[in-house]
A and B are shown apart, each in its own frame.
Chain A
Amino acid sequence: MIDEFLSYMKGYVRVRVEGDSVERFLNLCAYHELSSWELRKDMDAVLLTMSIHDFRKIRPLARKTKIKIRIVKKCGLPYFTYRHRKRTLFFIGLILCIGLLKVNSLFIWNIHFSGNSQYTDEMMLDFLKKKGVSVCMLRKKVDCPQIAKELRNQYDKIVWASVSVRGSVLKIDLKENEDMICESVTEEGKSVKPTDLVASCDGVVTKMVTRRGTPMVHEGDEVKKGDVLVTGRIEVLDDNKEVINYQYCQADADIYADTELPFQEKIGRYYDERHYTKKKNYQLIFRGKKKQYKLGIPCKDQPMSETYYHECFQQLGEHLELPVSFGIMEVKFFDKTRKKYSPDEIRMLLSEDFERFSKDLREKGIQIRGNSVKIHLYEKSAIADGMIFVNEKITQKADTEIITIERKKADESVGTDDGNTG
């Protein structure tokens, strides 16, 4: 493949060699290191292919061996350019194309991040932009070691960074410290304010798993909204079971309770049915940053029409968005008819809405136990109204009340106060 391409670039000729001593001629060619290929016997002659460079040297050999040489075919780029030498525009286009490729290859057109999970691409792109590194910058201005160093300095969780330029892509490989995620949590536990878990709504506790803090309710208890369920204040008792101090933490627990959710949906009984006509209008749109150009026959503004935009936002690579977009604007015309939902239709619509609402709840992990939703039909509207009985997580964070205990001098000698007292 490469040989063929090189031969094409250099140019070659297919020649017909005729005479009594063709073999001698071939041997002389080989002796003078003039390579020939695709030798084929054709009647009394031999057809062979030679490069232009070698062909220019065979004249003395042909005279010596008294053979006749005739060119059958000329191939390759030199002959192609000679044949099309008058097509100047083509060559100008070709040169421009090569020039553009060369110019484009001088710039960075894409920045690719890999290995980042805690920091987003956008976050790092903004940082790099502040440091003067962005798409469309010159390749030679990219200082890879410096970028890697700055990324490591800026983001503590990045423990390793490799920056390289591959073609027109700035490739940034990162390695983040995964252990730091756990460490940050524990650090937060020490420094962040202590919190309680309170009830977000009224209900009856059905399940409770406490991981941190002191539980204030039990399974089966009825709770009101705002009641403390688990407190972040842990009592420190002495030998007499008296509270001598409090330790504070962020309460953590899973508490589920049977609660009720109100549901109400209202739909009007009259609606406008749209009948789309066959008449449509299309226009080409070219949108810049500030201006918009339309190409096509504009339609008169009609109140009963819908306009759809099918636009292509051009993006080069991953992060370079072009400031222009183009697309088609489609205008559909319609006629309106006033209609009324039948009782069955409106029941079905409200049922669908209720099902959709229930599905959303289930997706959130809320268990539905039952409902008392009823549909009421009126002259102008229909209402689905009632309660949904669910079992859900009812915890909500709230600040812990800090209680200070005045300690006696004797107690201070015990030295059990290692908590975060306020």
Chain B
Amino acid sequence: MWRFYMEIEQVKNRLASAASMPKDVVIGSSIVNIIGTTEMCVENFRGITEYTDKMIRLQTKNGQIKIKGCRLEIEYYITGEMRITGKVRMIEFSEGGCQI
């Protein structure tokens, strides 16, 4: 089942590349914009899994994004978009994930 899912994802990826379409729309990839190490903007995610002042874990369609740092604050949070401020030390991406 997982393999079949991966194959569909690969096909979508190739189609998006061939048609020059944005992958965040076709595959649902997350967009992470980071300005220096103090500010970052995350789009196209499903929700927050964990929030502390040292770590923010976000659930995306294809996995999870883990942001580690200190004094992490969420400047705003609306559907599928948030801006994080504070000292960002590490961003970790992991495939698969849990349901929220």
- Assess A30 versus B78: contact at CB under 8 Å? Given A38-B73, A39-B73, A40-B73: yes
Inter-chain contact A33/B78, CB cutoff 8 Å: yes
For A33, give its contact among B46, B72, B79 (CB under 8 Å): B79
* Interface size, A (range): 10 to 19
Inter-chain contact A38/B51, CB cutoff 8 Å: no
A31 proximal to B (CB < 8 A)? yes
Inter-chain contact A35/B77, CB cutoff 8 Å: yes
0/1 per residue, B26-57, Cβ < 8 Å to A? Answer: 00000000000000000000111111110000
- Assess A39 versus B78: contact at CB under 8 Å? Given A23-B50, A30-B47, A46-B51: no
B75 proximal to A (CB < 8 A)? yes
Within 8 A of A (CB), among B2-39: none
- Assess A26 versus B78: contact at CB under 8 Å? Given A41-B51, A41-B52, A41-B53: no
A116 proximal to B (CB < 8 A)? no
Inter-chain contact A39/B74, CB cutoff 8 Å: yes
What is the distance, in angstroms, from B14's C-beta to the closest C-beta of chain A? 32
Q: Which residues of A contact B73 (CB under 8 A)?
A: 38-41
What is the distance, in angstroms, from A7's C-beta to the closest C-beta of chain B? 11
Q: Which residues of A contact B100 (CB under 8 A)?
A: 24, 27
Within 8 A of B (CB), among A17-47: 22-24, 26-27, 29-31, 33, 35-41, 46
For B51, give its contact among A23, A29, A31, A35 (CB under 8 Å): A23
Q: Which residues of B contact A33 (CB under 8 A)?
A: 78-79
- Report Cα–Cα, A27/B51, bound state, in Å: 11
Inter-chain contact A39/B52, CB cutoff 8 Å: no
- Report Cα–Cα, A180/B51, bound state, in Å: 79
Q: How many residues does chain B have at the interface if contact means C-beta atoms less than 8 Å apart?
A: 18
Q: In the complex, what residue of chain A is closest to B78 when comparing beta carbons?
A: A35
Inter-chain contact A26/B52, CB cutoff 8 Å: no
Q: Which residues of A contact B48 (CB under 8 A)?
A: 23, 26-27
Q: In the complex, what residue of chain A is closest to B54 when comparing beta carbons?
A: A41
- How many A-B residue pairs have C-beta atoms within 8 angstroms? Tell me: 52
Q: Which residues of B contact A27 (CB under 8 A)?
A: 46-48, 100
Main secondary structure of the interface of B (DSSP, over half): strand
What is the distance, in angstroms, from A297's C-beta to the closest C-beta of chain B? 65
- Assess A30 versus B76: contact at CB under 8 Å? Given A22-B51, A46-B51: no
- Report Cα–Cα, A30/B100, bound state, in Å: 13
- Report Cα–Cα, A395/B59, bound state, in Å: 98
For A37, give its contact among B49, B51, B77, B80 (CB under 8 Å): B77
For A26, give its contact among B46, B75, B77 (CB under 8 Å): B77
Q: Which residues of B contact A30 (CB under 8 A)?
A: 47, 77-80
Inter-chain contact A37/B75, CB cutoff 8 Å: yes
- Report Cα–Cα, A22/B51, bound state, in Å: 8
Q: Which residues of A contact B51 (CB under 8 A)?
A: 22-23, 26, 39, 41, 46
Within 8 A of B (CB), among A26-82: 26-27, 29-31, 33, 35-41, 46
What is the distance, in angstroms, from B44's C-beta to the closest C-beta of chain A? 13
Q: Which residues of A contact B78 (CB under 8 A)?
A: 30, 33, 35
- Report Cα–Cα, A30/B44, bound state, in Å: 13
- Report Cα–Cα, A38/B85, bound state, in Å: 10
- Report Cα–Cα, A33/B72, bound state, in Å: 23
- Report Cα–Cα, A33/B78, bound state, in Å: 7
0/1 per residue, A176-190, Cβ < 8 Å to B? Answer: 000000000000000
Q: Which residues of B contact A41 (CB under 8 A)?
A: 51-53, 72-73
**What are 7 A-B contacts defined by CB distance under 8 Å?**
A31-B47, A31-B79, A35-B78, A37-B74, A37-B75, A39-B74, A41-B73
B residues lining the A interface (CB < 8 Å): 46-53, 72-80, 100
A residues lining the B interface (CB < 8 Å): 22-24, 26-27, 29-31, 33, 35-41, 46
